[in-house]
């Protein structure tokens, strides 16, 4: 079950990137679960990782390798998160890099590992390493969709997007994929996200851009308020298009906007495919004194189980919205100035039920698959937007049976 359409256009190859996918049987048989990205020599690579203190072994190793060497390969497995696995988990993450590095004839530090799946279980190293030759043999430039399928866990569909710009007569391509459906409140990026462009961008500029767009996209989504141990988001710039870009370039704003739009699409795709989701919900907070208090109110609404279950039932129970805003921790909040709208229908006016509001209007506003909750705080000029989904019966079922 998911809201709206899936991938709506072709995922364009990025010059300088090849992708191989294999079925290694890491958790289940006959399922794509091992993905290898090969990056052209000289590529710039930027990353953002989870802030969870229990971050997985591959997160630790990926950080170390990225800081120490030139990145050439991303190694991704599903079915096992290799998180909460102690020293053996670190040994396995490093060994997985070494095994791929031997096949690819590169230093182990040129490989960054990524894992997703069940927490607290060791990687099945024999199956993982046995699957690597097939992934290497499968390397091709047009395997982005196969990769999007290969990084799925409880996702019901692959997630990916492309953008293309013409800069100084050169076509510049940006393509990315993401995965995630539950344990989603990134605090940096997403469950897993991989994107690349064939523009030439210096590593420091690429890192600044990734940090900015991740904050405007993946850091504005929540399914259940849980920050994963394995979140990682990568952006590579191969330079193969011959187009050189920097913040000083007149074309940088258009390029940065294209990257941002792609990341927003990938982030929203995660919410649309939230575990058991039947509604895609945009929470807009306007009139805040600053960004922080807008986000406090937005996440209080977006992560409230009472609000999310009301959304599932299409029940315009606006009292739950008031309660969420009231407990959000905004200092000296004047509730008598707050207005709330559901899909354009005003349900709350100056802190109470809007005079013209009827229950029939509220039910009609809550019926569509896509809902916008707009809150006017009347405190200042700040605004923020967060994307979330509802809680259905299926969310409980999926997570109750996740390991069985």
Q: Is 190 tagged catalytic?
A: yes
Flag whether pLDDT at 322 surpasses 90. Answer: yes
SS3 track for 116-167? EEECCCCCCHHHHHHHHHHHHHCCECCCHHHHHHHCCCCCCCCEEEEEEEEE
pLDDT at 323: 94
Q: How high does pLDDT run on average in the chain?
A: 93
Lowest mean pLDDT among 46-50, 89-93, 110-114, 143-147: 46-50
Residue-range domain boundaries for the chain: 17-272, 280-400
User: Do the beta carbons of residue 126 and residue 8 sit within 8 Å?
Assistant: no
- Alpha carbons 45 and 56: distance in angstroms, whole number: 20
Compute the C-alpha angle 38/264/65, nearest 5°: 35
* Topology adopted by domain 280-400: Ubiquitin-like (UB roll) (3.10.20)
The mean pLDDT of 359-386, rounded to a whole number, is: 96
- In terms of phi and psi (left: phi > 0; alpha: psi -120 to 50; beta: otherwise), the region of 82 is left
Of residues 9 and 234, the one with the higher pLDDT is 234
Q: Give, for 302, the enclosing helix (H) or strand (E).
A: helix 291-302
* Topology adopted by domain 17-272: 3.60.70
Work out the pLDDT band at 54, boundaries 50, 70, 90. Answer: confident
Work out the pLDDT band at 180, boundaries 50, 70, 90. Answer: confident
Count the alpha carbons within 13 Å of 201 in the hemisphere toward its beta carbon.
29
Work out the pLDDT band at 404, boundaries 50, 70, 90. Answer: low
Percent of the chain with pLDDT strictly greater than 70:
97
The mean pLDDT of 388-404, rounded to a whole number, is: 81
What pLDDT digit, counting tens, does each position of 279-305 carry?
Answer: 999 999 999 999 999 999 999 999 999
The mean pLDDT of 51-61, rounded to a whole number, is: 91
How far is the first Cα of the chain from the last one, in angstroms, to the nearest whole number? 20
Catalytic residue among 190, 222, 238, 278: 190
What pLDDT digit, counting tens, does each position of 249-273 carry?
Answer: 999 999 999 999 999 999 999 999 8
């Amino acid at each position: 079950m998911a809201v709206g359409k899936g991938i709506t256009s072709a995922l364009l190859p990025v010059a300088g990137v090849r992708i191989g996918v294999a079925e290694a049987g890491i958790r289940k048989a006959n399922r794509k679960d091992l993905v290898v990205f090969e990056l052209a020599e000289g590529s710039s690579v930027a990353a953002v990782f989870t802030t969870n203190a229990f971050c997985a072994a591959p997160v630790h190793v990926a950080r170390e390798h990225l800081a120490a060497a030139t990145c050439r390969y991303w190694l991704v497995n599903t079915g096992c998160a290799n998180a909460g696995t102690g020293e053996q988990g670190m040994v396995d993450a490093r060994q997985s890099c070494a095994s791929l590095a031997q096949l690819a004839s590169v230093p182990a530090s040129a490989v960054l590992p990524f894992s997703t799946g069940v927490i607290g279980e060791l990687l099945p190293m024999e199956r993982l390493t046995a699957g690597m030759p097939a992934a290497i043999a499968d390397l091709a430039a047009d395997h982005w969709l196969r990769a999007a399928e290969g990084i799925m866990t409880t996702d019901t569909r692959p997630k990916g997007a492309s953008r293309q710009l013409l800069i100084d007569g050169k076509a510049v391509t940006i393509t990315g994929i993401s995965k995630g459906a539950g344990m989603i409140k990134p605090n940096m990026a997403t469950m897993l996200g991989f994107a690349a462009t064939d523009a030439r961008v210096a590593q420091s500029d690429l890192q600044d851009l990734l940090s900015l767009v991740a904050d405007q996209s993946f850091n504005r989504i929540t399914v259940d308020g849980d920050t994963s141990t394995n979140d990682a988001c990568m952006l590579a710039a191969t330079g193969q298009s011959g187009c050189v870009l920097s913040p000083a370039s007149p074309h940088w704003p258009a390029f940065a906007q294209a990257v941002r739009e792609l990341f927003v699409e990938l982030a929203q795709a995660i919410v649309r495919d939230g575990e058991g989701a039947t509604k895609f919900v945009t929470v807009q907070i306007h009139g805040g004194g600053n960004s922080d208090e807008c986000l406090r109110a937005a996440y209080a609404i977006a992560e409230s189980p009472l609000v999310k279950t009301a959304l599932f039932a299409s029940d315009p129970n606006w009292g739950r919205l008031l309660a969420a805003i009231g407990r959000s921790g905004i200092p000296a909040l004047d509730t008598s100035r707050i207005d709330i709208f559901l899909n354009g229908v005003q349900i709350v006016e100056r802190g109470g039920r809007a005079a013209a509001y009827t229950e029939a209007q509220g039910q009609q506003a809550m019926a569509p698959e896509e809902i916008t909750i707009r809150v006017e705080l009347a405190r200042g000029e700040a605004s923020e937007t967060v994307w979330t989904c509802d809680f259905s019966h299926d969310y409980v079922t999926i997570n109750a049976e996740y390991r069985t």
